[in-house]
Amino acid sequence: MTRKLYYTQRSPYARKVRIVLAEKQLPCELVETDIKRKSPEFLSLNPIGKIPVLVDENGLTFWDSTLIVEYLDETYPHPPFYPRDRLEKLRCRQGEELADSLIDRVVALWYETGKAPKADEQLQAYYQQEIDRLLFVLENKLDFSSYLLNDQFTAVDVAAVSGLGYYTFRFGKNWQLRYPKLTRWFERLHQRPSLQSTLPKA
């Protein structure tokens, strides 16, 4: 059976999984999914109705990007995206959660920006403030290490670069004027084929 990922091309959550699949060199059929009109087949895979959803080569179904990344890492340990030490792994999961909340805020800001007939400016300002606060936290994480958790490319970097990639795709590169360490980290990560092959497209 072919491994399948239900996704949308621009989704930053799905991009987390696509980066990990590419880094681990795991072939996967990508199934573009209409999340505005969800098919009964798709809802039978994920009753929450969100992408990404992974159906593995044995027909096992997983959803939620973080759980899929963890499943892939445990099943195909090379290269690793979580530390093996229990407490270090929890710290990594926590960092990933922080980066996921950046994704949540960027997606919410984009949604609010395009809202007809009029966006709620107060809400937009709130999301923007939250994004700036989280970027500052991430910037400070690069004070003592070359990646966000330690000196290795982990699930924290995967989630954060997917979030920042989506922020850049929707709102441009202005954030780079304020966050020099994140900018260097972002540009360095984008030299990887797994990042280049998963860029969101207009």
Ligand X SMILES: N[C@@H](CCC(=O)N[C@@H](CS)C(=O)NCC(=O)O)C(=O)O
Binding to ligand X by CB under 6 A, coded x per residue (else -) over 81-120, reads --------------------------x-------------
Candidate segments 63-71, 85-93, 140-148, 170-178, binder of ligand X by CB under 6 A: 63-71
Burial class (CB in 10 A: 0-12, 13-18, 19+), 164: buried
Asked whether 70 and 154 are in contact (CB, 8 A), the reply is no
Contact status: 198 vs ligand X (CB under 6 A): no
Cβ nearer to ligand X, comparing 4 with 50: 50
Phi-psi region of 150 (alpha: psi -120 to 50; beta: other; left: phi over 0): beta
Q: In this structure, which amino acid lies at residue 105?
A: R
Minimal distance, residue 9 CB to ligand X, in Å: 11
- Specify the stretch interacting with ligand X by CB under 6 A; choose among 43-51, 78-86, 168-176, 187-195: 43-51
Q: Which is nearer to ligand X, 35 or 90 (CB)?
A: 35
Question: Could you identify the residue written with the tokens 């989506």?
Answer: 166
Binding of residue 13 to ligand X (CB under 6 A): yes
**Structural tokens at position 188:** 């360095």
> Omega before 47 cis (within 30°)?
no
Closest separation in Å from C-beta 36 to ligand X: 8
Q: Closer to ligand X at the Cβ: 23 or 64?
A: 64
Of the residues 5, 45, 52, 179, which one makes contact with ligand X according to CB under 6 A: 52
Edge-to-edge strand ranges of the sheet holding 29-32: 29-32, 4-7, 53-55, 61-63
Q: Are 85 and 93 in contact (CB under 8 A)?
A: no
Which of 26, 31, 66, 76 binds ligand X (CB under 6 A)? It is 66
Q: Where on the chain is the footprint of ligand X (CB under 6 A)?
A: 11, 13, 35, 49-52, 64-66, 107
